[in-house]
Amino acid sequence: MAIKSSILETIGQTPTIRVNHLAPEGVEMYVKLEAANPGGSVKDRLALSIIETAERDGSLQPGQTVVEATSGNTGIGLAIVCAQKGYPLVVTMAESFSVERRKLMRFLGAKVVLTPASEKGTGMVRKARELAEEHGWFLARQFENPANPAIHENTTAREIIEDFGADGLDYLVTGFGTGGTLTGISRRMKADSPATRIIVTEPDNSAIMASGHVQAYNPDGSAAESHPGFRPHPMQGWSPDFIPAVAHEAMAEGRIDGFQPVGGQAALEMSRALATREGIFVGISAGATFAAALEVAKTAPKGSKILAMLPDTGERYLSTPLFADVPEEMSDEEMAISRSTETIRFDAPAAAPAVGQPAADAEALAEVQETVSEHAVVVYALEWCEFCWSVRKMFEDAGIDYHAVELDSVAYQQDNHGGRLRAALREICNAPTIPQVFVGGQHIGGATETFDAYNSGQLAEMLEAQQISMAATAQNAYSYLPKWLHPR
């Protein structure tokens, strides 16, 4: 049966992929692509495990709110699980994690409570605990919850052993956030594939686990201090400012065979290299893990098989240093390609407009006149046109009610009603474009003229004459336009 009973059945069973172009001679390199999970990260596994374990042991009641501190991916995973199972979700997250994460969680129906970056990971964890106590919510406790490593022991590690066979893999390279991946995988590997060496990678400037400083814990397993070795680093989701209890287990039980530090720059470069050379689109911690795996490869015996865990997709890093050098505008090289043929380019005049527009009919002309005299503010608009959206947003922000005529809506397509009104507008306004805006029966113009009137104060005066006061909020009305529509 290939049909899944819900999205939750698509979590796990991620592919192991051979690396063809970036692997040095003499070793075989592989990656496990956790971006293939429905939420785009490894954390979908833990989210499902924590919620279903709590459902079974009764610590999570039907309809109870779930709360958790997360660098984002756990929140996205929990949001998916909670959406499917009907639990409200509140996430606490330091403001320094990428805005894509916030928006994704909110899009999936979660509430995101930001915490100050200065309070670091320990701060967002404390906030989640406070909220759980205050409101009686279920705290997921990913950093301590045994359901976190358990899912990696029972799924991720099993998948790896299925792919390589017992003792078929020589090195497994992973970072840690909660340590769920590390602790769960190492538990199963040490039992069923003891020849596999477990290599932990950390940011070179924040190698808290390799530092030897012993982390202090509270009786409930939460970290009792911010680790003194912690420094900010760009690998979001990795190495918080404490060694989580979950990660501590792998270290305390001697299951770590080596540490490999990795620099932020190498992480960013390797994420880009995986994309451009292998077509593997992953995030910063994935780039870091692969960079560390390449270091391991340098001293690995010939013929070694090395697997790097790639925790998430690159799509949630558009606003981060990962994409800092990826321009929005065309580069000189792209401009040259554009100019290499005659038409459809920005530096040549557009094709002449089509001739033979239909003439306006008397009935449509009368209808426009009637509409603009009946309503104080009228916007003739197209439903999904960016200029029209910008004008609407401007009026909405200014708190002004307007009457919109949606010329291309299904209703106005009946008997070409919208088309006839457009012909009438072309004649009345002496302009072919939409939107067209009227105040007190007077034609202001299209989007450009309306923005100009807003900026000069003329719009406010015209509204005043209609006893409408305007709350001008924008410095410049042109800011309502998407950037690609800003006047060139």
Residues classed as catalytic = 43, 285
Strand-pair category, 442-445 with 436-439: antiparallel
> Smallest gap, in angstroms, from Cβ of residue 467 to ligand PMP?
55
Q: Which one, 311 or 445, has the nearer CB to ligand PMP?
A: 311
Helix (H, G, I), strand (E, B) or coil at 224: coil
180 binds ligand PMP (CB under 6 A): yes
Q: Which one, 272 or 392, has the nearer CB to ligand PMP?
A: 272
Choice from 37, 155, 178, 196 touching ligand PMP (CB under 6 A): 178
175 binds ligand PMP (CB under 6 A): yes
Distance CA 300, CA 231 (A): 30
Choice from 8, 19, 36, 42 touching ligand PMP (CB under 6 A): 42
Q: Segment 58-87, which members bind ligand PMP (CB under 6 A)?
A: 71, 73
Q: Segment 290-329, which members bind ligand PMP (CB under 6 A)?
A: 311-312
418 binds ligand PMP (CB under 6 A): no
b/e string for 260-280 if b means 16 or more Cβ within 10 A? bbbebebbbebbbbbeeebeb
Q: Which one, 286 or 405, has the nearer CB to ligand PMP?
A: 286
**Of 212, 204, 216, 203, whose CA–CA distance to 242 is shortest?**
216
Q: Which one, 42 or 105, has the nearer CB to ligand PMP?
A: 42
Binding residues for ligand PMP, rule CB under 6 A, total 20
41 binds ligand PMP (CB under 6 A): yes
What are the residues whose beta carbons fall under 8 Å from the beta carbon of 62, sequence distance 6 or more? 86
Amino acid type, 292: A
Do residues 235 and 289 lie in contact, with contact meaning Cβ atoms separated by under 8 Å? no
Measured at the CA of 98, the angle between CA 96 and CA 101, to 5 degrees, comes to 120
Q: Which one, 50 or 428, has the nearer CB to ligand PMP?
A: 50
Distance CA 111, CA 102 (A): 9
Distance CA 456, CA 477 (A): 10
> Smallest gap, in angstroms, from Cβ of residue 240 to ligand PMP?
8
Distance CA 285, CA 95 (A): 18
Q: Quick one: residue 26, left, alpha or beta (phi over 0 = left, psi -120 to 50 = alpha)?
A: left
Do residues 11 and 38 lie in contact, with contact meaning Cβ atoms separated by under 8 Å? yes
According to DSSP, residue 165 is labeled: -
> Smallest gap, in angstroms, from Cβ of residue 238 to ligand PMP?
5
283 binds ligand PMP (CB under 6 A): yes
Distance CA 263, CA 250 (A): 23
Choice from 121, 123, 177, 445 touching ligand PMP (CB under 6 A): 177
Choice from 40, 179, 203, 264 touching ligand PMP (CB under 6 A): 179
Do residues 83 and 109 lie in contact, with contact meaning Cβ atoms separated by under 8 Å? yes
Q: Which one, 146 or 175, has the nearer CB to ligand PMP?
A: 175
> Smallest gap, in angstroms, from Cβ of residue 211 to ligand PMP?
18
> Smallest gap, in angstroms, from Cβ of residue 327 to ligand PMP?
25
Q: Segment 213-252, which members bind ligand PMP (CB under 6 A)?
A: 236-238
Do residues 460 and 400 lie in contact, with contact meaning Cβ atoms separated by under 8 Å? no
Do residues 44 and 142 lie in contact, with contact meaning Cβ atoms separated by under 8 Å? no
Q: Segment 99-128, which members bind ligand PMP (CB under 6 A)?
A: none
Choice from 43, 101, 188, 422 touching ligand PMP (CB under 6 A): 43
Q: Which one, 26 or 321, has the nearer CB to ligand PMP?
A: 321
The H or E element spanning position 138 is strand 138-139
Residue numbers at the binding site for ligand PMP (CB under 6 A): 41-43, 71, 73, 175-182, 236-238, 283, 285, 311-312
